[in-house]
Amino acid sequence: MDKITFTAETREGKGKGPARQLRASGFIPGILYGAENEPCSIKVEKRNAENIIRKLESHNVMADLILKKDKGETETIKTMVKDIQIEPINMDVLHIDFYRIRMDQAVRMEVAIHLIGEAPGLEKGGILEQELREMEIQALPDKIPSVIEVDVSKLDIGDTVSVKDIILPEGVEAVDEGEKTIVTILAPKAVEEEAPAEEGAEAAAAATAEKPAEPEVISEKEAAERRKEKESSKTEQK
């Protein structure tokens, strides 16, 4: 996998106050632990660390940690970046945890999944849904792949790729359950059919029929004649 390198120094002091001072002076507080060694408080060069972290696809990655010691000496330590604390508003990196690893011992970690190819099902209106974006695997540190590629070039509508379908490099084992779905091509969403033109015409006719009749409009002359007819009719009845 691509080599990632952090540079750090040992540090003194704990708590929020010293941590704020470290960040103001261009460092990020961190801790180094694991491999039967005593935990060690460190400070990581901020600019270099933030440039790396912005490009990471997951926090659980392998990294070389160059630890500066007294008298200008340095030690390169194989580590796994186990945790990165980030301030949610300003996105500042607040703290980094490094875990020492041994090259002769297998480690578990999550590796990003990359989809490659064009699925034929998409041309038919299907919808690609990636349910798993990282796969947990187990291998010796030098066998860990940088990414896991999943080929979707043969997927039609309704097809699925699960963890058990992936052929991993030699020496690499999947930790996730084999039945866990990685990606699937869903059928297109149903589109409501438009009402036929005949139904539209019937609806318009019904709406017209429901309208109240408009009042009859007559002239003054016609009104006078109708009054005379009513009066003569009353006279005859008497």
CATH of the domain at 89: 2.40.240.10
In this prediction, residue 54 carries a pLDDT of 86
Task: Give me the pLDDT at residue 217, please.
Answer: 46
Number of domains in the chain: 2
DSSP letters spanning 86-137:
E-TTT--EEEEEEEE--TTS-EEEEEEEEEES--HHHHTT-EEEE--SEEEE
pLDDT of residue 196: 53
- Over residues 188-232, the pLDDT tens digits come to 986 544 445 555 555 555 555 554 444 444 455 565 666 666 555
Same domain, 16 and 57: yes
Digits of tens for pLDDT over the chain (238 positions)? 467 999 999 988 777 788 888 888 999 999 999 878 889 999 999 999 999 988 887 667 889 999 988 777 899 999 999 889 998 888 889 999 999 998 899 999 889 999 999 999 999 999 999 999 999 999 998 898 889 999 999 999 999 999 999 999 999 999 999 999 999 999 998 654 444 555 555 555 555 555 444 444 445 556 566 666 655 555 555 4
Same domain, 93 and 126: no
For residue 32, what pLDDT is reported? Answer: 95
Asked if residue 237 belongs to a domain, the reply is: no
Spatial neighbors of 98 by CB under 8 A, at least 6 apart, are 6, 30, 31, 32, 33, 42, 63, 65, 77, 79, 80, 81, 82
Q: Which range marks the domain in which residue 23 is found? A: 5-101
Q: Which of 44, 67, 101 is the last residue of a domain?
A: 101
pLDDT for 215 equals 46
At residue 177, what are phi and psi to the nearest 5 degrees? -60, 140
Whole-number Å distance between alpha carbons of 118 and 114: 13
Same domain, 83 and 120: no
Nearest partner of 119 among 151, 164, 148, judged by Cα: 151
